[in-house]
Amino acid sequence: MVETPENTTVVIVGAGVAGLTLGNFLLRSGIGCVVVEKHSRAYVEQRQRAGTIDSRGVRMFREWGLEDVTKDGDAASEITGGIWIDEVMYPMEFDEDDDNDSVFCPQQVLVRNLTDAFLLGGGDLRFEALDVTPQDLLGARALVRYRNTDGEAKAIGCDFVAGCDGFHGVSRASVPDDALTRYSHEYKYSWLSVLAEVSADPSGMAIHDRGLAGMIPRGANASRLYLQCPAGDTPEQWPDERIWGELRARFGIEVPTGRIVDKRIVPLRCVVFSPMSHGRLYLLGDAAHIVPPMSAKGIHLALYDAETFARAVVKKVREGDASLLDGYSDTCLRHIWNYQAFAAWITELMHNAGDATYEGEFRKEIARAELERQFTSPTASRLFGELSAGLL
């Protein structure tokens, strides 16, 4: 039997932040696209991760007429809090006249809003697409195969495949090993990341001999708690009482307690794959790079890739000009390495400074000086404000 695949311009693999942002931009530009996502809509829309969109992202959505996708009725609207160093609190001061328009928006809210916008605009989004397989990436047209939940085999022919399927997805895995270089650094410590039903009070980060701690709001009665821990730790080693005890010890004050609803170990690592394209496949977001969570820049990078790729496809389709597509990988990598440098710096600063066995008090004094400098420079303070508010 001769197979007749469907056809479109771009098949987007993965309905996360990168994939849905790209899908919306292409839809608004009149470019055909199909999004295939392996999970159900319910699963994707409740997946908790980041908590803010930085000012670049807010401006970008506004420019594309999608400003409503960052709106979350339930989220706290103010960025407040401080940094505790050895139990002394340094309040974060933000210049109200500064162009600081980052917003609290839990990642699952952004994903839900982007899904609604895409479907409302007539977008083609297929959840529960199983065994997605990009093929013919070096051919005249690429093909993306998958199975639907009824077991039917599907095939979509396309000009470009956008691999937006995260760090463990199939897109990057479909590229031969020798065609990509992996640059990476693994830290010797991880984060215990906890979601709790409690208001974040205190709100901020603590640097302490026992390690970094964080308590960041995720809504009126929800917080993300973080505790630096050795890389090999498991959630089972962290019973609830130990978590509350460590928070109290590292902040040096009483903290409210509440029901813990999720507990996981997040490895801290920097990873970049280069180039970010192979034939007709282009990698976006976590499929191409990971920044340590301390930087809170994963969303920023996913959005940057999505916009860069969308503009490149629009130029190619409308004007027959492939220059932006040809430069996609270099353009994104330049941006990514800048943010990797920031992420590596802030990770080092915030973690190793608290470890007395690592250059002792010297590092702590450097951290204190750096953090105070952050709060007195409007630009740095804005960056740091976004960072502090965006963590996990």
Ligand X SMILES: Cc1cc2nc3c(=O)[nH]c(=O)nc-3n(C[C@H](O)[C@H](O)[C@H](O)COP(=O)(O)OP(=O)(O)OC[C@H]3O[C@@H](n4cnc5c(N)ncnc54)[C@H](O)[C@@H]3O)c2cc1C
Judged by the rule CB under 6 A, the positions of this chain that interact with ligand X are 13-19, 36-39, 44, 49-51, 107, 129, 132, 164-166, 169-170, 193, 266, 285-287, 293, 296-300, 302, 390-392
Q: Read off the tokens for 98.
A: 């500064």
Would you say 134 or 364 has its CB closer to ligand X? 134
Separation of alpha carbons 253 and 106, rounded Å: 27
Q: How far apart are CA 211 and CA 188, in angstroms?
A: 13
- Collapse the DSSP code of 26 into the 3-class scheme (helix H, G, I; strand E, B; otherwise coil) and give the result: helix
Q: How far is the CB of 330 from ligand X (least distance, A)?
A: 19
Instruction: Report the nearest approach of ligand X to the CB of residue 28 (Å).
Output: 18
Nearest CB to ligand X, comparing residues 60 and 364: 60
Closest CB to ligand X among residues 20, 207: 20
**Residue 199: DSSP 8-state:** -
The answer to whether the bond into 106 is cis (omega within 30° of 0) is no
Which residues share a beta bridge with 125? 35
Rounded least distance, CB 104 to ligand X, Å = 11
Give the nearer residue to ligand X in terms of CB position, either 287 or 371.
Answer: 287
Tokens of 97: 């006249």
**Contact yes or no for 169/326 (Cβ under 8 A):** no
- Nearest distance in Å: CB 1, ligand X: 26
Q: Smallest gap, in angstroms, from Cβ of residue 294 to ligand X?
A: 9
Q: How far is the CB of 36 from ligand X (least distance, A)?
A: 6
Nearest distance from residue 131's CB to ligand X, in Å?
Answer: 8
Task: Name the CA radius of gyration of the chain, rounded.
Answer: 22
Tokens of 358: 């690592």
- Pick between residue 86 and residue 197 the one whose CB is nearest to ligand X: 197
Nearest alpha-carbon partner for 89 in 207, 199, 245: 207
Strands 124-126 and 33-36: parallel
Nearer to ligand X, 147 or 368 (CB): 147
Q: Could you tell me which residues are beta bridge partners of residue 162?
A: 12, 282
Nearer Cβ to ligand X, position 337 or 366?
A: 337
CB of 369 to ligand X, least distance (A): 26
How far apart are CB 213 and ligand X at their closest, in Å?
16
Q: What is the DSSP letter of 174?
A: G
Question: Which segments of 287-327 does DSSP mark as H helices, in order?
Answer: 298-319, 323-326
Q: Which is nearer to ligand X, 272 or 363 (CB)?
A: 272
CA distance 96 to 102: 12
Task: Give me the numbers of helices (H) and strands (E) for the chain, helices first please.
Answer: 10, 18
Q: Contact 335/341 with Cβ under 8 angstroms?
A: no
Reduce the DSSP state of residue 64 to 3 states and report it: coil
